[in-house]
């Protein structure tokens, strides 16, 4: 049963990672990343790392992904360009993915497969439990831990600032109408024509009343 769960979680993690880079819509890419993080949490549970699995779900798939969805929905656009912004970008990305696959395959076939028949590393009791990790985060790694929280706060503020600039530059974001002589004329009404000084406009002809004989 454990092997079945492992392969299902591995397939889900791989499919989610491929979906992140393969989907054109950034919102769907974020959803694929959430599925990838949930699959990683299952793999960490199989390694008896309950704290890391909970952090994957609560911190990454929960808080951080909510921030990503907020940024994509607030700043991102659903319309993708037809052409690549960088010439040859797809070719370069394919070559990079191929060489990365070769490197990972060589590492797995050379060393990782040799550990399949072993029972794994010997770790002391209490290694990786919430008490040990909390001690490291709040004592030894306190400064990097607080720096990462400040970085997330800066990212959220930057997303709000960029969204405000985008709304100001979009066509139709300003009030309807045009400005003439210090006043705004609503759209659909023409501006009064300029007349020379001393010229009195001709009185408008009275319109026929309703029911009057023509």
Q: Which residue has the higher pLDDT, 80 or 114?
A: 114
Mean pLDDT of the chain: 74
Q: What is the mean pLDDT of residues 44-70?
A: 81
Query: Rounded to an integer, what distance in angstroms lies between the CA atom of residue 30 and that of residue 16?
Result: 10
User: If you ran DSSP here, which 8-state letter would residue 203 be given?
Assistant: P
68: helix, strand or coil:
helix
13-35 pLDDT, tens digit per residue, is: 999 999 888 887 888 888 888 89
- The answer on pLDDT for 57 being more than 60 is yes
The pair of structure tokens assigned to 174 is 């300003």
**Least confidently predicted of 32-46, 56-70, 109-123, 137-151:** 109-123
- The answer on pLDDT for 112 being more than 80 is no
Taking alpha carbons only, the member of 15, 21, 11 closest to residue 96 is 21
Bridge partner residues of 179 (DSSP): 184
Residues 6+ apart with CB under 8 A from 131: none
Query: Rounded to an integer, what distance in angstroms lies between the CA atom of residue 156 and that of residue 68?
Result: 9
């Amino acid at each position: 049963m454990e092997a079945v769960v492992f392969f299902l979680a591995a397939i889900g993690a791989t499919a989610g990672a491929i979906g992140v880079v393969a989907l054109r819509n950034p919102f769907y890419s974020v959803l694929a990343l959430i599925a990838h993080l949930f699959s990683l949490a299952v793999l960490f549970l199989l390694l008896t790392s309950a704290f890391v699995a909970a952090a994957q779900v609560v911190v990454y798939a929960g808080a951080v992904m909510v921030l990503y969805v907020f940024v994509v929905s607030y700043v991102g656009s659903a319309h993708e360009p037809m052409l690549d912004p960088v010439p040859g970008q797809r070719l370069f990305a394919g070559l990079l993915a191929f060489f990365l696959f070769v490197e990972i395959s060589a590492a797995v076939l050379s060393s990782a497969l040799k550990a399949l028949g072993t029972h794994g590393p010997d770790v002391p009791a209490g290694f990786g439990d919430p008490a040990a990790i909390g001690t490291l985060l709040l004592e030894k790694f306190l400064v990097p831990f607080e720096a990462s929280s400040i970085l997330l706060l800066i990212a959220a503020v930057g997303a709000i600032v960029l969204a405000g600039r985008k709304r100001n530059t979009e066509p139709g974001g300003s009030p309807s109408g045009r400005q003439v002589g210090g006043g705004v004329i609503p759209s659909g009404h023409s501006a009064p024509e300029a007349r020379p000084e001393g010229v009195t406009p001709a009185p408008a002809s009275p319109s026929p009343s309703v029911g009057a004989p023509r």
